A and B are shown apart, each in its own frame.
Chain A
Amino acid sequence: MSCIEQMKYTIHLQRISFKEAREYIEKNSDEVYYVSPGYKIFKDYYIIGIPPIAVGAKGNSLIFPYTKPCYGSFVLSIDNEDSIKEIDRLRQTGKGKATTSVKKGKSSESSRAPLASYEDMWKNKSEKLT
């Protein structure tokens, strides 16, 4: 059990596909950042997902996808002191280079996992496919 399940969170969507989670976050956040699979948030939650993984900020709330094998994907938000820190971290590192890909040979850097723009990520991906 990750720390998320012990925190006070809001469920925005539940039992959806990962793509639907991404679209919801993109449409319902003030700011959207893209992280790699395995990006660490809060104490010990490593995001499971399909790149580009959207993580949003709305006010002081961090909006993120949460996937469980038997229940599908959820969109959760958390609004507390830690979410403010996480949003600040995304803002500070949001200019990182795009290195995320679903191709093999890439390794995530956990909490230091690179951030990227949506366009850069898919540009990289299409380059790998050619």
Chain B
Amino acid sequence: MTGAKVLLMMGCPEIPIQTSIALYLSHKLTNLGFDVTVAGTTAASKLLKVSDSDGYYVKKLVDLDKTIVDIIEKRADFDICFAFMHNDAGMTYATTMSSISQARMYSIVFGRNAETLAETIEFDCEKIVAQDVHNPVRLKNKLDKVMEEIVI
């Protein structure tokens, strides 16, 4: 799958681990040879931009809603999508993405209600679930295993 186009789809940045995991995933996947794009809300993108001001970890940062429109209008698409979600709105966005895109979906579900939220996901995806808010290590470890599987 090296060279595949990967979208990291960030939702509301209210839960701290989203930003660190997005930076980590972007960097790891880029180093593995994937073409990584990170899409976020205005606030999520600003957090990422300030954290990675020289664009060392995130090479392509785009607006989430504009990316969705581009996919609907068939101006863009991806092979793999990691959708971050910690609330119903995030899950709703991810469901929309699964419906409009050909991408293989991975749902990164985190926050205090992660397990309950994960149960509401109806679209076909691999779920990576961690009931964490501040400590990203458990989620990172789960994603490391997912990345190993993707590379094979």
Contacts and interface: CB of A to CB of B under 8 A. Distances in A.
A38 B99 contact: yes
Interface stretch (B49-57, B65-73, B130-138, B144-152): B65-73
Contact of A72 (B88, B101, B124): B88
B65 A2 contact: yes
A2 B96 CA distance: 17
B87 A38 contact: no
B89 A73 contact: yes
A70 B100 contact: no
Interface string B89-120: 11111011011111111000000000000000
Interface string A2-44: 1000000000000001100000000000000000111010001
Contact of A49 (B64, B92, B105): B92
Contacts, number: 92
Band of interface residues on B: 20 to 34
Contacts of B89: 18, 67-73
B124 A69 contact: no
B102 A104 contact: yes
27 contacts: A18-B88, A37-B100, A38-B72, A38-B100, A46-B68, A46-B69, A48-B68, A48-B93, A49-B96, A50-B91, A67-B89, A69-B93, A70-B11, A70-B89, A72-B89, A101-B99, A102-B99, A102-B122, A102-B124, A103-B124, A104-B103, A104-B104, A104-B105, A104-B124, A105-B102, A108-B100, A110-B72
Interface of A: 2, 17-18, 36-38, 40, 44, 46, 48-51, 67-73, 100-108, 110, 125
Interface of B: 11-12, 14, 41, 43-44, 64-65, 68-69, 72-74, 87-93, 95-96, 98-105, 122-124
Given A17-B88, A48-B96, A69-B93, 9 more contacts: A38-B100, A44-B69, A49-B96, A51-B99, A68-B89, A70-B89, A71-B89, A102-B95, A102-B99
